[in-house]
Structure 1
Amino acid sequence: KQYMEGYKEYHPDFCYLFNSYYNTVGERTLRAERGNITRPGVDEVFAYRRYVDENMNQYLSNNIPADVQKLVQLGMNHEQQHQELFITDLKYALGHNPIFPVYKDDYNLLKDHNTGNGFVHIDEGIYEIGFEGDEFCYDNELGRHKVYLHTFDISKALVTNGEYIEFIQAGGYKNFNYWLDEGWAWVNENNARSPMYWHNINGEWLYYTLAGLQKIAPDAILGHISYYEANAFATWKGMRLPTEFEWEVASEQLDWGKRWEWTNSAYLPYPGFSIAAGAVGEYNGKFMVNQMVLRGASVATSEGHSRKTYRNFFHPHYQWQFSGIRLVK
């Protein structure tokens, strides 16, 4: 409405209703209380979508300023993020239903396998990190800078379900020595004994997928793991998680894109990072606290959305994303 003359909002209350965290936009509900808000019906949501699409198409049919083009591109990439979040949120809702409803018969997104084995060796040295070029990227990828890395070897394969079952059977959730202090507190507070959506029924491991409850394939890639669990597993194996810089340097030699991969790096700004003015400034910078970086992409990520410099981030206890583990030694 700021840029399109004569634009009228579809509904005067929708800005408040759908404002997730942008203080610049206006009043909003508390994050912890979002689930208490009664939402519009499906038909009205689709009508709202059509209204916005029609107005956007009309606006974009004209020559628009370069700065607005960048905002539109940011908005499109932001929508792609929420397309993935829609899938993970849908699975979270259905996965906590005791009858394990089927969303689609052929929609098991956890059946993919590794394509490589062994390790990639990276020599010590000084490497450049961060986005470079004229294409789109998020502001948290900017501030290209040099880092010094010690020699390391990074696994070509992600951890599989079978490998993680070995961790469980070895008492991984019962031994505090494998866990960070906050992670061990999380284990006990939540009585955690396995990854999200896993169920041990009559001695057999099954997991909920959007295709319903299915037997766990031991050689398929592990998913829905928290940073705490990833770090504990790595400790148990006598290895560690990569830093986000190690991951980026090695990425061209890795087959990535099946899981968001936890790194051992806190989500912090790169050198020279600055918060933009206005609502855009609330997009990344204010979240740079108490979160860990994930690299790569997942089976639910829009094609072409991610890149080797992409920095995803979540709190360390979150499991509901399609997250996985890659080890370093």
Structure 2
Amino acid sequence: MNEQARGAIDSADLMERLLYEVKRVVVGQDHFLERVLVAILAGGHLLVEGVPGLAKTLTVNTLARTMSGSFKRIQFTPDLLPADLVGTRMYNQGTGEFSTVRGPVFANLLLADEINRAPAKVQSALLEVMQEKQVTIAGETYRVPAPFLVMATQNPIETEGTYPLPEAQVDRFMMKVLVGYPSEEEEVVIVNRVTGPRISVSPIATPEHLTGLQDECRKVYVDPSLVQYAVRVVAATRKPSGYGLEEIERYITFGASPRATIGLIEGARALAFLRGRNYAVPEDVIDLVPDVLRHRLSLSYEAMSDGATADQLISRILQALPVPERPLEAHVRATAR
């Protein structure tokens, strides 16, 4: 076993221990937890949709404690201002000078709770920091801590007093994850755990350690056939008729951007890394396709009237496109040399 393969296994073991520590507090939500770790390793951001009370805030807060990182939560409201997010310049009467007050975006994990309750001007204040990992205050640029993850939540059952997210904002989220209700068995455990003795969480990794894991994750081998497959999947959302999907073309107004293809490959690397492999396989890409694409499809009025959802259209695209062969480990090792 070469050094890269051993490093991937050791790192996967660390992520397993981190995940185990989080699950001592958070019950269920395996898919959601895995996607949060994928986003951290891939340097992406998450848009989470789910009804209140499903441990979204608890998950991010607990994860921040396990990685000894800083956690900030912003409750988005209609009266929120951009300066409330990124910070501002304050005048000190004692010294007669201006000083910079940094906003809550300066954290490793930032929870933007109910992001669609603030107007577009406030939502757009996150554009620079999500893409460039920096903010500009009064002409000066400041870097945010690394690693940096924005997790924004929105409530799917309320529309009154909400503002739709700008397309440029939505596209900067690597994935949109749907969080569902727990099973009856899981809910029994939740009640017992919340009403029982308080569980303390131990730090497993430091932010610097996770930054190193991000660098290791980028070394995961991705076969060119997987890149071509990801490109075809995303291209099929733009012109379905070119891939024998004429029946769904009328349902899609605009397809996914190249950010979706990048997100699929970066996410597949992270998922393979979490699963203890130093190379990605087709399953890694396929598992991420719904989460990476569902928020990037602009559906037509005809789709809405026929009840067609983004997930249904994505499933149809996956069924129509041939899956590349799984790369052999011997081929991966030879390529790595």
**TM-score, structure 2 normalization:** 0.24
**TM-score, structure 1 normalization:** 0.24
Name the structure where helix makes up a greater proportion of residues: 2
